[in-house]
Amino acid sequence: DVKVTQSSRYLVKRTGEKVFLECVQDMDHENMFWYRQDPGLGLRLIYFSYDVKMKEKGDIPEGYSVSREKKERFSLILESASTNQTSMYLCASKRDRGQPQHFGDGTRLSIL
């Protein structure tokens, strides 16, 4: 089975801090994704990557950046955390475009 591991289940940070969310997958998948999930808004795509060192903006990239230095790891960076970035963050990976996505358990991030 594919395993997608997110480094933290719960995280509390302060406004203005630089926050790193880490995601690792163990199935050599080409594609990796970061979403945020908010009540009433569903899942929204922040960034995705289809190869090492490649990244593409999703629907809501503002305030975020990403890094993919190794195939198995995809990091989401909040450059200067703000309270409106309090959310559930979900990482996913998949092999190619015709395949389903595999999700991690999520990181519930609170910005105080």
Residues that bind another protein in the complex, under the rule CB under 8 A: 4, 31, 40-43, 45, 48, 50, 56, 90, 92, 97-106, 108
Coil, strand, or helix at residue 28? coil
Separation of alpha carbons 42 and 53, rounded Å: 28
Task: Kindly report the number of other CB atoms within 10 A of residue 112's CB atom.
Answer: 10
Tell me the β-bridge partners of 6: 23
- The kind and range of the H/E element at 23 are strand 19-25
Q: Pick between residue 42 and residue 62 the one whose CB is nearest to another protein.
A: 42
Q: Pick between residue 69 and residue 98 the one whose CB is nearest to another protein.
A: 98
Q: Pick between residue 75 and residue 107 the one whose CB is nearest to another protein.
A: 107
Tokens matching residue 23: 């995601």
